[in-house]
Amino acid sequence: MNTQPRTTLGVVPGAAAATAVPGTGSAGGGYAVHATDLVKTYHPKGRGKAVPGGVRALDGLGISVEPGIVFGLLGPNGAGKSTTVKILTTLASADSGSAVVAGFDVAREPGRVRRAIGVVAQRSGADPVATGRDNLLLQGRLYGMRGVELTRRVDELLTRFDLVDAAKRQVKTYSGGMLRRLDVAIGLVHRPQVLFLDEPTTGLDPEARTAMWEEVERLAGSEGLTILLTTHYLEEADKLAARLAIVDRGRIVAEGTPDALKGELRGDAVVVELAAAAQDHLPVVGAIGAVPGVRDITVDGRRVAARADDGAAAVPAVLAALERIGLPVAAVTVSRPSLDDVYLRYAGRSFSSAEAGHSSVLEGASR
């Protein structure tokens, strides 16, 4: 039986100092997080048999995160985001490649990495039968905090996350939003240099999600933390990340600020929903491509997307072109560039179709 106390990391940090140990600065090139060519393959079993060749969760992934910013890893479920976080937080090892977090090598100095980071995993690490206060106290003690220092820090976090009234209640009585706030507070007890938020708003209702967004923005502004956020919510990445990397099939396919990535896509996005999926993509691309000012055409099932210098002006000609080749249209929209458009450009498929096409077997293997 495993008798180790629970933490947000799932491991005991050891005889840690009361505060996070700063990185040496000799590794990582001055970045808070620096990973190069990470490769990870899982070998799940289907019906008792290993999947031939395994499942490549990470395929040469690399990121560099500057200190003091919110850096987003955006991608559909199964893209490799959570596997990346597990490697960076020492919960999994890469098959190859290297990673440095807070100045420490995750493979050679895992204990120092753990003392320098906080982690909010997809699943809560809080003890459901303990109170909120006791969860925070336990986490602090595991990191070497004692006495007045720990009590003050716990009181500060309970106040900050609006949990004072619930501090003496068992965690199993908390709402989803309260539990996520407690999870973040637990990850911050020891004042980490880098905070990992792995899908922090999954399962929350819109009100709780908005509240969490506001808290992340406050943390980035007042604490001076480096925050690495993984998400499959386009709006969340757009709102919170100062810089983001788009992950698809275990690789980074685009990186930059949200505005810069969207700014690379000149003109408007024109999206046509066909009444039925096109059997042959080439006639669709050819017909729409003949419309002046229209480019970057992609066909994904019933969804046809393109870019146009003037979307509103191009719509009548696009509809006429589709009518000529016998494809009735169910709906059409024109919008400014979005992160979904960025994903479509670099991954060759829409974000929604990538989510829908991800099988449960692959999802379980790549996380």
- Arithmetic mean of pLDDT, 308-337: 95
Q: Is the pLDDT of residue 361 over 60?
A: no
- Arithmetic mean of pLDDT, 174-190: 96
Among residues of the chain, what percentage have pLDDT more than 70? Answer: 86
Angle made by CA atoms 180, 181, 184, in degrees to the nearest 5: 85
Say what the pLDDT of residue 220 is. 81
Say what the pLDDT of residue 54 is. 84
Q: Quick check: 87 and 243 in contact, CB under 8 A? A: no
Selected residue with higher pLDDT from 321 and 221: 321
Residue-averaged pLDDT of the chain: 88
Q: Quick check: 118 and 125 in contact, CB under 8 A? A: no
Selected residue with higher pLDDT from 146 and 266: 146
Residue 2's pLDDT band (boundaries 50, 70, 90)? very low
Residue 71: count of CB within 10 angstroms of its CB: 24
What 3-state class would DSSP assign to 3? coil
Say what the pLDDT of residue 27 is. 64
pLDDT tens, residue by residue, 8-26: 444 446 434 333 434 444 5
- Arithmetic mean of pLDDT, 302-322: 95
pLDDT tens, residue by residue, 34-59: 999 999 999 876 655 556 678 899 99
Say what the pLDDT of residue 62 is. 98
CA proximity to 294, closest of 305, 304, 308: 308
- Arithmetic mean of pLDDT, 126-136: 98
Structure tokens belonging to residue 104: 């420490």
Residue 200's pLDDT band (boundaries 50, 70, 90)? very high
Least confident of 14-18, 69-73, 76-80, 239-243: 14-18
Residue 350's pLDDT band (boundaries 50, 70, 90)? confident
- Arithmetic mean of pLDDT, 154-160: 97
Say what the pLDDT of residue 95 is. 97
**Burial of 213: CB neighbours in 10 Å, binned 0-12, 13-18, 19+:** middle
Say what the pLDDT of residue 224 is. 76
CA proximity to 336, closest of 310, 361, 314, 318: 310
Q: Domains along the chain?
A: 28-257 (3.40.50.300), 266-336 (3.30.70.2470)
Structure tokens belonging to residue 352: 């929604």
Say what the pLDDT of residue 195 is. 97
Q: Is the pLDDT of residue 363 over 50?
A: no
Global pTM value? 0.79
Say what the pLDDT of residue 48 is. 56
Least confident of 26-30, 210-214, 312-316, 321-325: 26-30
Helix axes 132-142 and 176-188, enclosed angle (nearest 10)? 20
d(CA 52, CA 54): 5
Say what the pLDDT of residue 203 is. 87
d(CA 307, CA 70): 30
Say what the pLDDT of residue 12 is. 47
Residue 259 has what DSSP assignment?
H
Say what the pLDDT of residue 44 is. 79
Q: Is the pLDDT of residue 158 over 90?
A: yes
Q: Is the pLDDT of residue 144 over 90?
A: yes
DSSP characters over 148-210: HHHHHHHHHHHHHTT-TTTTTSBGGGS-HHHHHHHHHHHHHTT--SEEEEESTTTT--HHHHH
How many DSSP H helices and E strands does the chain contain? 13, 16
Q: Quick check: 71 and 229 in contact, CB under 8 A? A: yes
Q: Is the pLDDT of residue 29 over 50?
A: yes
